[in-house]
Structure 1
Amino acid sequence: MIDYMVEFDDDTRAVIELTRKLSEKYQKPLEQRKLQGHEITLDDLQPGVRAAKEVGLWGLTLPEAYGGANLTMTQQLAVIEESFRCLVPLRFGGNVPSFLLGATGVQKERYLDPCLQDQLRYAFAQTEPSGGADPGNAIQTKAVKRGDTWVINGTKVFISAVAHAQVIFVVAVTDAEKRARGGISMFAVDKHNPGLKISRDIQILDGMVINELIFDNCEVTEDAMIGGDGQGFRNAQIILSLARFGVGARALGIAMRTLEMMVDYANQRVTFGSALSQKQAVQGMVVDSWIDINQCRLMMYAAARKAEQGHDTRTEASLVKMQATEVVGRVLDRGIQVFGAAGVSLDNPIAHWWRSQRPARIYEGPTEVHKYHVLARKLFA
């Protein structure tokens, strides 16, 4: 068994073991089906969702007051990491964006309560053709107040989760002078709003379809503004910071499983009279992967402890996201090299992960933006 160096407390080990058992029972059979070429549907995932809810894994980021699991940041990341060791990871219900917490009145009834019951599917639309890595300056979509309605005009692109969404949370400029400093707001737009057009399906490497959205005099009522006038940019950055930790944990779970597959295969694959595990080139790839994973996990869980102490961890979120997605790319590439032709065959999880993880170095902020726009600025401040 590979030693990954991070030590967890008893409660965290228990929740990891619970996640592992659920994954073995409900998700591993789906992994086999996917490797055989079958499509996995949302209905296929529901038994795992229900089983997780029954044992308390529901609303992983939510406090108990909202019916959530009330997990620590360490536990949240450990659950995600364990789940994503499977090609078809567990899905956890009760996924409520932080900007809805505290909603009252119509917004509570229309958005928060259905999210808490996993009855509302949503998409988040920020990225635009003018760029996604610098939203404070790049957002061109505008919302203008006319009487008791807001009228939204603009284009969003590379937006995920649109196909199954019922509502789109859209970030738009409401004060061009203030922009990111109180001039960007968020609105809830029903997907069937006549002013919203889903103009283009865009298929990406892993087969996922993302979309381009056009808002053409899209009218919404005053109560569709989420989180207050001018708070959209701030609220978007909060959810993106949390998402970056999650992206890192997903990448590391995949990297760990890939490393274990590399070791198992290298031990049993014989070539030129000895096992691959006896070849120094293969040993180097395995050791380098183990070092990469351990370094990144130690960093991620140190950041998680800092978050649990109430510190601002936006910089750490950038660091974790950037480094973990770079690490999984290197580990997957080495895994393919060790497996050879079997590594690029779609009956091997590594081939699927390579396709799904290459975009991870772009979404939630490209590596270069995190390195130079966030981390370098922090160090030279």
Structure 2
Amino acid sequence: MYELKEETRAIVELVRRIVRDHQMPLEAQMLRGEKLTFADYQPGREAARQAGLWGLRLPSEFGGADLSLVDRLAVVEENRKCLTPIRFGGEVLPSLIHVQGEQKARYLDPFLSDSTAICFALTEPGGGSDPAGALSTHARRDEKGWVINGSKIWITDFDNADRVFVFARTGKERAANNISTFAVEKGNPGLIARPVPMLGVGHVTHQLAFEDCRVDDVACIGAEGAGFKSAQDALNPVRFEIAATALGIAQRCYEMMVEHAKQRVAFGGPLSEKQSIQSMIVDSWVEIQQIRLLMYTCAEKHDRGEDARIEAGMLKMVGSEMVGRVVDRAIQIHGAAGCTYETPLAHWYDNQRMARIYDGASEVLKHRVLARYLLT
């Protein structure tokens, strides 16, 4: 089993206390059927910021925690044991960190002060796991700035955002180096949003239409044509974090399995004495430990400055598939009670189904990333 270093364990304990004091009461509210708003998460968010847990991967010179990947994954794993995790602030595109002048004053400074919220719009209808190849949203320059036309879909956190960072093609050729990033204010008349309900109680993404959406020159973030590279730079850590999320949820499900199996009596004895139940619990524990060891070992490689892109894709794939199996076993052990939204299990059953699709579908990662790496 993988053992975290003492300093990392101290960070995890800090997260555990914030989750216990602020997030678990929210989980109880959600399980009672109460609708939570972004404001409900603010006390936990502020507690995390006061504890130095803001901008987990943001450089320290910008006020961020600047944690190593190992430390970030430990934070994510602990945080995601709760159905209503801390919503950490300070997550930003790498390209935004380096802006200067008016761009810094308009986009970076408000973000660093946590007075503004943003969302990202990359995926398009028909794009899926090939966002660069299928990207057709385009921006053309004129005497007043840029005009954006196109459509995006499956955009998360739009409701809570003040502006959208949209990726659009700025060259004629369908190449990744012809994609740029633009900041579009939410009230821009050329931006039209349609909510798209998803699996999970209250989960909504948005489809965005850009119809002659005008922005000025300052709204082009970073170098023209470097937008997709910026998105890719952020993707590998995200894939690691998806695996850490899977581990946190799986660990909580495992703990719920053990507790329920010991307490629930059926056919003259506790469920924990039934061989089939023991097998499900042991299988879950083994899978969790295997992926935890793999994840942190690969994260150490990344922290040493070595290329871990293949490992990121592998972990995203196996982690998202593992958590689905563990949640399913937990529901099976809980019986009908596991199928109600009065426990976290049904929520996670819905939510984690999508984890095998976003940020690289399992099939794409298996055949276009891992197989290509192994066979070339």
TM-score range for the pair, normalised by the shorter chain length: over 0.9
Distance in 1 between residues matched to 2:47 and 2:175, nearest whole Å? 44
TM alignment of 1:146-295, pairs within 5 A: 146-177=142-173, 179-180=175-176, 182-198=177-193, 200-206=194-200, 207-295=202-290
Which one of the candidate residues 313, 316, 320 is aligned to 1:318?
313
Q: Aligned ranges for residues 1-381 of structure 1 at < 5 Å?
A: 5-177=1-173, 179-180=175-176, 182-198=177-193, 200-206=194-200, 207-381=202-376
Partners in 2 of 1:81 and 1:373 — Cα distance? 28
CA distance in 2, matches of 1:210, 1:261: 30
SS at match of 2:183: strand
SS in 1 for 2:341: coil
- Residue-by-residue CA offset, 1:331-372 (whole Å, 9 max, x unaligned): 000000000001011111111111111111111111111111
Using the alignment, how far apart are the partners of 1:213 and 1:302 within structure 2?
39
Task: Give 1:98's aligned amino acid.
Answer: P
Question: Cα 1:313–1:271, aligned 2, differ >3 Å: closer, same or farther?
Answer: same
RMSD in angstroms over aligned alpha carbons? Answer: 1.2
In 2, Cα distance between equivalents of 1:179 and 1:166: 30
* Contact kept? 2:38, 2:160, Cα under 8 Å: no
Asked if 2 retains the 8 angstrom alpha-carbon contact of 1:130 and 1:140, the reply is no
Runs of 5+ unmatched residues, structure 1:
none
The alpha-carbon deviation at position 148 of structure 1 amounts to 4.4
- Which secondary structure does the structure 2 equivalent of 1:88 belong to? coil
Unaligned 5+ segments in structure 2 are none
Counterpart residue identity of residue 31, structure 2:
L
Measure, in 2, the Cα distance between the counterparts of 1:96 and 1:114. 12
Pairs aligned (count): 375
Distance apart, 1:97 and its partner CA: 2.4
Contact 1:267 1:275 in 2 (8 A): yes
Decide whether the 8 Å contact of 1:95 with 1:115 is kept in 2: no
User: Structure 2: which amino acid aligns with 1:373?
Assistant: R
SS at 2:195's partner residue?
strand
In 2: Cα distance, 1:90 partner to 1:130 partner: 32
> In the alignment, is the contact (CA less than 8 A) between 1:96 and 1:116 conserved in 2?
no
Runs (4+) off by over 4 Å: none
% identity of equivalent residues: 49
Q: SS at the partner of 1:185?
A: strand
Task: Kindly provide the amino acid, as one letter, of the partner of residue 74 in structure 2.
Answer: A
Deviation at 1:93, TM superposition (A): 2.0
Q: Residue 337 of structure 1 contacts residue 343 of structure 1 at CA under 8 Å; is this kept in 2?
A: yes
* TM-fit CA distance, 1:125: 0.6
Code of the residue aligned with 1:92 in structure 2: it is F
How far, CA to CA, are the matches of 2:139 and 2:90 in structure 1? 30
| Structure 1 residue 95, shift from structure 2 partner | 2.2
